Amino acid sequence: MYPSFLEIPDVPMEKIMNHLDYLAIQSVRKTCWDLRNFIDDKKPGIGMIRISFFQTSDIAVGLAISAPTFGHSEDPYINLTYKKHENGCGISGPTSDGSKDKIVENLNFLDAALHDFKVALNSQKSIFESITVQGNTFFEKFEESMKSQKPIATESMIFRVKFGRRPSSHAACRPKISQNNRHQFA
């Protein structure tokens, strides 16, 4: 009898997972607690280059993630919109795996987007090229959500804030650098 996928030792399992992109790893992560814990501990797979979290309206935010290509024709990416829906949250948009469109009942759109943003941040083993956060009304909730966030490894972190109908005012964040050279919110 052959061993089950879950019985594969850590080293070969990590080698298998390192051939998956971010979307595939997140799909595998959802299959069972053992795989979720393994992925959260080992952080296997292709690293992400950039991540952006941005407000598109008072009832919608976007999350865009891009990863490097390694001989593939196009970069793996996610570009989702989380929108307030009468019964919860609508999530839609293109990804490198095709278009996503679903409704999650009893879930606030901003909570859903912030959760996925933090999952992406915590899935990263290498340093991000850039992290961008842009909006005008969700910063209190964003700040509260990020208080429990461990340090983030990034070369650049930018916050863009719009005030009213005037042109955008850009505020660049100077992250605090911890001893292990990872950036964290100051």
What is the CA angle 23-44-67, rounded to 5? 45
pLDDT value, residue 46: 64
Query: Is the separation of the CB atoms in 107 and 90 below 8 Å?
Result: no
Average pLDDT over residues 116-120: 87
Share the mean pLDDT of the chain: 79
Q: How confident is the model at residue 2 (pLDDT cuts 50, 70, 90)?
A: confident
pLDDT value, residue 92: 93
Q: Check whether 128 has a pLDDT greater than 80.
A: yes
Q: Hey, what CATH topology would domain 1-45 get?
A: Monooxygenase (1.20.1280)
Q: Token pair of 93, please?
A: 């948009």
Q: How confident is the model at residue 127 (pLDDT cuts 50, 70, 90)?
A: confident
Largest CA distance in the chain: 68
pLDDT value, residue 178: 40
> Given the structure tokens 């976007």, which residue do they identify?
62
b/e map 2-33, b = 16+ CB within 10 Å? eeeeeeeeeeebbeebeebbbbebbebbeeee
